Amino acid sequence: MIVLGIETSCDETACALVRSDKVILAHLVRTQLKEHQMFGGVVPEVAARSHLHTLYPLVQECLLQADISPEQIDAIAATTGPGLIGGVMVGASFAKGLALGLDKPFIAVNHLEAHALTPRLTHDVPFPYLLLLVSGGHCQILIAHGVGHYTQLGSTIDDAVGEAFDKTAKLLGLGYPGGPALESQAKAGNPNRFTLPKPLTHMAGCDFSFSGLKTAVRQLIESTHPMTDQDRADICASFQKTVALVMISRLKNAMKMLADREVAVGTLVMAGGVAANQYICSAVKEFAQKYELIFVAPPLSLCTDNGAMVAWAGLERLQMGACDGLDTSCRPRWPLQELTPSMEI
Residue range 205-248, pLDDT digits in tens: 999 999 999 999 999 999 998 999 999 999 999 999 999 999 99
Protein fold of 127-300: Nucleotidyltransferase; domain 5 (3.30.420)
For 175-205, the pLDDT digits (tens) are: 877 889 999 999 999 999 999 999 999 999 9
Quickly state the pLDDT bin for 340 (edges 50, 70, 90). Answer: low
Query: Chain centroid to CA 270: how far?
Result: 10
> Can you list the positions of beta strands (E) in the chain?
2-7, 12-19, 24-31, 75-81, 106-110, 129-134, 139-146, 149-155, 267-271, 294-296, 322-323, 343-344
Architecture of domain 2-116+302-344: 2-Layer Sandwich (3.30)
CATH 3.30.420.40: which residues of the chain? 2-116+302-344, 127-300
Mean pLDDT, residues 59-71: 98
Give the confidence band of 261 by pLDDT, cuts at 50, 70, 90: very high
Residue 192: exposure state from Cβ atoms within 10 A (0-12, 13-18, ≥19): exposed
